[in-house]
Amino acid sequence: MSSKKSSRGYVVVTGTSTGIGAATALHLARNGFHVFAGVRRDEDGEALRAQVPEKVTPLIIDVTDESTITAAASTVADAVGKRGLAGLVNNAGIAKPAPIEFQPMADFRTQLEVNLFGPVAMVQAFLPLIRRGGGRIVNVGSIGGLLVLPLNGAYSASKFGMRAITDALRLELRQWNIHVSLIEVAPVETAIFGKTYAELDGLEKRLGEPNYRLYEEQVAAVRKSTKKAAADADPPLVIAKAIAHALTSDKPKTRYLVGHGGKQVAVAAALPDRARDRALVRELELPKPE
């Protein structure tokens, strides 16, 4: 990997098999970075590398498995040497909707493992290379870290947590002039919508018929809302461009609110609690109190 081929430096991006991660890896590669693309399957990595062969190196990274993170950090360290990293993009994430009352704790924990603990583990593993290279950290969050919908408590807990971790890192790493940005993503065209539908469809089986019936109307409301969000979603390249700005701008923002409907969500999130609840009940057509 010559310096000419990596004129803007080396970056690590997680969750690049599809959606935002794939769009980001390709966009950065096509704009002068050499991208270490985190995937969980070899075939996904090879498919990505085939599109920009000289600028993408697949890495097996499961952010819930520290052994894969350690191995990836070692591989990257050997490749970049004294140059270090220009950036780390924590993008990997999942959503497993369910009412908190009945959500299996394994599912709750998995969302935090992937969406919150995984990024922390990545930062701990790669920060020495970022410090060496004068690089930056970009965490991909969500408007779910601003506003909580029913059945999305675990997901939002992870995304509110991502905001807290980003704020802490921004202060802690200021000493070394390491910029840390948060991308607050509004709906974009990714596979997460199909996965969310599948999760909602599987709730009755996972929760059991009596428990599911208690929340059946809320499930229908969330499904309808998800369908509307999918119809209005922006392409993932919109997010990729914001990530590129955070990595390259002379004045990167601390937060990027990106995607269709993000500003409206931010306004709703700023309402007093009761007013916000009433607005969400109306918007989602949630069931009235019995």
pLDDT in tens, 9-63: 999 999 999 999 999 999 999 999 999 999 999 999 999 999 999 999 999 999 9
- Candidates 234, 246, 146; CA nearest to 190 is 234
Predicted local confidence at residue 168, as pLDDT? 98
Amino acid at 96: K
DSSP states of 166-192: HHHHHHHTGGGT--EEEEEEPPBSSTH
The answer, yes or no, to whether residue 6 has pLDDT greater than 80, is: no
The answer, yes or no, to whether residue 4 has pLDDT greater than 70, is: no
Active site residues: 155
Domain 10-284 of CATH type 3.40.640.10: no
What's the pLDDT band for 5 if we cut at 50, 70, 90? very low
| 239-271 per-position pLDDT tens digit | 999 999 999 999 999 999 998 889 999 999 999
Average pLDDT over residues 191-210: 84
The more confidently predicted of residues 229 and 58 is: 58
| 91-149 per-position pLDDT tens digit | 999 999 999 999 999 999 999 999 999 999 999 999 999 999 999 999 999 999 999 99
Rounded Cα distance, 117 and 11, in Å: 20
- Candidates 144, 135, 174; CA nearest to 257 is 144
The more confidently predicted of residues 40 and 6 is: 40
Average pLDDT over residues 192-209: 84
Predicted local confidence at residue 195, as pLDDT? 78
Rounded Cα distance, 228 and 285, in Å: 13
| 167-196 per-position pLDDT tens digit | 999 999 999 999 999 999 998 877 667 778
- Phi first, then psi: give them for residue 190, nearest 5 degrees: -135, 175
- What's the CA angle centered on 256, arms 250 and 262, to 5 degrees? 155
Rounded Cα distance, 92 and 138, in Å: 12
Predicted local confidence at residue 3, as pLDDT? 41
The answer, yes or no, to whether residue 210 has pLDDT greater than 60, is: yes
What is the pTM for the complete model shown? 0.93
The answer, yes or no, to whether residue 73 has pLDDT greater than 90, is: yes
Residue with the two structure tokens 């590129």: 244
Predicted local confidence at residue 191, as pLDDT? 64
The answer, yes or no, to whether residue 1 has pLDDT greater than 60, is: no
Rounded Cα distance, 9 and 28, in Å: 10
- Is 128 within 8 Å of 76 (Cβ atoms)? no
